[in-house]
Amino acid sequence: MSVTETPTAYSGARKGEDKSFEGVWDTPTGLRKLSSVSHRVVGRRFIYTGFVFFLIAGVLALMVRTQLIVPGNTFLDLETYNQVFTMHGTLMMFLFAIPILEGFAVYLIPLMLGARDLIFPRLGQFGYYCYLFGGIIVLSSFLFDAAPDGGWFMYVPLSTKAHTPGLSADFWLIGITFAEIASVTAAVELITAILCARAPGMSLTKMPVFAWYILITAFMIAIGFPPLIIGSILLEAERLLALPFFDPMLGGDPLLWQHLFWLFGHPEVYIIFLPAAGMVATMLPTFVGKPLFGYGFAVAAVVTMGFISFGLWAHHMFATGLPILSLSLFSAASSMVAVPTAIQIFCFIATLASGRPRLTVPMLFILGFLSIFVIGGLTGVMLASVPFNWQAHDSYFVVAHLHYVLIGGMVFPLIGAFYYWAPHFTGRMMSERLGRWVFGLMFVGFNATFLLMHLTGLRGMPRRVATYAEGLGWDRLNMLSSIGSYILAAGIALFVFDFFRSRRHGPKAPRNPWGAGTLEWLYPPVAPGFNFHAIPPVESREPLWDQPELLEREAHEVDGVMHGIRDGRRETLGCDPVSGAPLYVLRLPHPTWIPMLAAAGLAILFGATLASAYWVCAVGGVIALAAFTLWAWEPSDSGVTRDAGMGHELPVNVVDKRAHMHVALVGTMLVLMALFASLIFGLLYLWNIRPDAAETVTRPGLVAAAVAVVAGIAVAVFGQFTRRTAVSDRNLGAMALSLLTAAAAVASAGALGLSLMPVDPWASALGATLWATGGFTGIVLFVLLYWALFNAARRLTRRTGPGQSMPDFNLATFAKGSGLMVVVAGAFFIAGAMGGVG
């Protein structure tokens, strides 16, 4: 099905015209491998790095357990103990659980959906380096004897400058915020990949269920992470610049931090659980030999969990004195989330019952997951009840519950997933015999450690204590828990051994070794640099079961669209987000260092903030900006059509609302809106709970705020006109309108700034939050300004040919979002100016 017509010339970047298909997709070797953008390479990096963090955090957990093995122990002093449990929680939650699961998604999603790569490979590389550098910043705190010690949720006032004067909290805030950029970029990347690059015929209903789980998780990350990013920036600003966001003396509130933290923190638990459950939903049918029972139920469960998990955040704050009515609202939502969770578990149990499961190692881990997670869920329902929660608050009962959910719900499926997908990483099978030992040790060790902790907690032992007195009834239980943790650790050590052993000595994995139904097993598992020579049309959710022709031939002979390559470029198929119908040929970037450079620039910026070397920060910022500019400056590929085979004549990189660039932009706007909404929440919260302090804030300027609103509307209108003019290929008009959009952005930012002039951000928390809202909107406007000027410059230098209006098309959407933010911020300022802030 290769293409024979002579293609029209195009202005896109020349990359590898003289190369074969394999040559174009080849992974660079040696040091240049670091410039690889392939999802296989980046996904594996996320997975391996995440696992290293898991091992480090695991060693820290063992130190905790060793300290607690006997009463009055002096293995760790009090300060070190605080650092150790804080870093354990922090590494596990931020640097292990989410990144490793995202790594699996980055690796598996294109393979399962019939794509040759993720849609934004450079973003993947950029995200990975942000994660790596962020993780290094957090870990390096040990070197400076400044490891964070305020607990993984860094509550204020403990984490403010007054109570934590050193750099430890800064390491946490800066490193974690940086690493979170990685999670957010991966989320946008995954949303776009799932919606825009699937095999022909793979409608949303024919999508493997794993993709549903990841899609919902990615949306949750896009909305759930911003509150913590904003919270961390506000706290860092309080520590660095003495802005009083959380200072009760100046109208701030420590509980605002708790709200922002848990607005992220609770959904995070589901963000960790859902991809792991998606792995279970993928592996289980393979071993039962039947499709997942109740695909529709599972989709309903994932969607409901995704939403409801955002309504639970304050159940972590039951003991803070919130009004009973609020507690009841959160208690109700917390209980309700058990319903979709149970629906999902029933889907798994019904699938199990529908066939005769093969008891392989991954299957054992699935059974382990089911039993442990259900117990964690049940203790969760207990904790959702306010009176019980008050009793068990901050006790070892909570530690037991959270580990049942996290280890049962995530670590067990993860280890099962390693055994299942190991052939993809090593080309070999891991040992079934050793695997059973791994499972046995982990299952026994886990329950010995944590089942008993429920009792320890009910007997009154608080969490986060470095030692305890003899004779309180906790001695034996702690001793057994610690022994259990060593058994658990032995299981994990054996797993690591088995993984490395299998790389050399494991039996070679055949094609589709488990007899699975999903597309990632189409090729023999030893990874080539590419995914599909031709992308086969898909007729069912388990194509390898229902389309026998796929496995009858050698993988590279399978029929499909886009056989071969065109123009020497990496390409995959772009599809309609709902129906999966082929829509366009999607050009992908080749290996490059630029994303790494951008991440390094940001790392310098963040790292130098820690050292208060602000001119170095500026250098880092400039490096990052230059790298982003180079990244975006590349010639556009759209404007030509190509024969994709099987009767599909498709445009390249279509300019349309359904195009991947536009879908990604909508995802990005979602993130920006969530960041903005977090600030608005802060404003309303402080205004509502501290009317006395709000009275004291000077009013913002009315006229300037009104001008900002008008300018904000102009931003949106000019942006939209730019799109229209550009789409009809009127070069000069588009350039002029881009410049007008830029001018409106400058006017909006100027007017917002002027309106805020009378407000002293150091005098009150509300004033500081008003400034933060204005500042955030200003940054968004700066991006808009830069983008509009950038588009105009490209037009001026004739880098934009006919039909290449995607950057202007997207600018319009961004301008509308930015305009909306300006209007909302302006409206708040007007309200403050007219009614008085108080």
**Which of the choices ligand HEM, other proteins, none does residue 249 contact, using the CB cut-off of 5 to 8 A by kind?**
none
**Which of the choices ligand HEM, other proteins, none does residue 647 contact, using the CB cut-off of 5 to 8 A by kind?**
none
For position 464 contacting ligand HEM by CB under 6 A, the verdict is yes
- Tell me which H or E stretch contains 687: helix 660-689
Closer to other proteins at the Cβ: 299 or 477? 299
The Cβ of residue 557 has, within 10 Å, a number of other Cβ atoms equal to 10
Closer to ligand HEM at the Cβ: 87 or 337? 87
For position 205 contacting other proteins by CB under 8 A, the verdict is yes
Phi, psi of 546 (to 5 degrees): -95, -10
Helix (H, G, I), strand (E, B) or coil at 162: coil
* Binding track, positions 296-335, relative to other proteins; x by CB under 8 A: xx-xxx-xx-xxx-xx-----------xxxx-xx--xx-x
Closer to ligand HEM at the Cβ: 182 or 663? 182
For other proteins, the binding residues in 637-696 under the rule CB under 8 A are 687-692
For position 245 contacting ligand HEM by CB under 6 A, the verdict is no
Asked whether the beta carbons of 573 and 651 are under 8 A apart, the reply is no
**Residues touching other proteins: how many (CB under 8 A)?**
38
For ligand HEM, the binding residues in 78-137 under the rule CB under 6 A are 85-86, 88-89, 92-93, 97
Closer to other proteins at the Cβ: 107 or 219? 219
Residue with tokens 């420590």: 254
Of the candidates 633, 806, 583, 796, which has an alpha carbon nearest to the alpha carbon of residue 13? 633
In whole angstroms, the minimum distance from the beta carbon of 675 to ligand HEM comes to: 24
Q: Tell me, rounded to whole angstroms, the distance of Cα 490 from its chain centroid.
A: 30
Closer to ligand HEM at the Cβ: 75 or 782? 75
**Which of the choices other proteins, ligand HEM, none does residue 690 contact, using the CB cut-off of 5 to 8 A by kind?**
other proteins
**Which of the choices ligand HEM, other proteins, none does residue 214 contact, using the CB cut-off of 5 to 8 A by kind?**
none
What whole-number distance in Å separates Cα of residue 289 and Cα of residue 516? 8
For position 179 contacting ligand HEM by CB under 6 A, the verdict is no
Q: Quick one: which of 16, 28, 71, 151 contacts ligand HEM (CB under 6 A)?
A: 151
The amino acid that residue 709 corresponds to is: V
Burial label, 615 (beta-carbon count in 10 A; 0-12, 13-18, 19+): exposed
For position 416 contacting ligand HEM by CB under 6 A, the verdict is no
For position 266 contacting ligand HEM by CB under 6 A, the verdict is no
Question: What value does the CA radius of gyration of the chain take, rounded to a whole number of Å?
Answer: 27
**Which of the choices ligand HEM, other proteins, none does residue 40 contact, using the CB cut-off of 5 to 8 A by kind?**
none
Q: Quick one: which of 221, 250, 255, 399 contacts ligand HEM (CB under 6 A)?
A: 399
**Residues touching ligand HEM: how many (CB under 6 A)?**
23
The amino acid that residue 270 corresponds to is: Y
Bridge-partner residues for 645, per DSSP? 648
For position 485 contacting ligand HEM by CB under 6 A, the verdict is yes
Position of minimal CB gap to ligand HEM: 89
What whole-number distance in Å separates Cα of residue 172 and Cα of residue 195? 34
**Which of the choices ligand HEM, other proteins, none does residue 423 contact, using the CB cut-off of 5 to 8 A by kind?**
none
The amino acid that residue 488 corresponds to is: L
For position 480 contacting ligand HEM by CB under 6 A, the verdict is no
In whole angstroms, the minimum distance from the beta carbon of 295 to other proteins comes to: 5
- Measured CA distances, 579 to 200, 572, 679, 744 (Å): 9, 17, 37, 39
Helix-strand-coil split of the chain, %, nearest 5: 70, 5, 30
Per DSSP, the residues of 224-252 read HHHHHHHHHHHHHHHHHH---TT-GGGT-
Phi, psi of 601 (to 5 degrees): -55, -45
For other proteins, the binding residues in 341-360 under the rule CB under 8 A are 343
Helix (H, G, I), strand (E, B) or coil at 557: helix
Task: List residues binding ligand HEM (CB under 6 A).
Answer: 58, 61, 64-65, 85-86, 88-89, 92-93, 97, 151-152, 399, 403, 406-407, 411, 449, 463-464, 485, 488
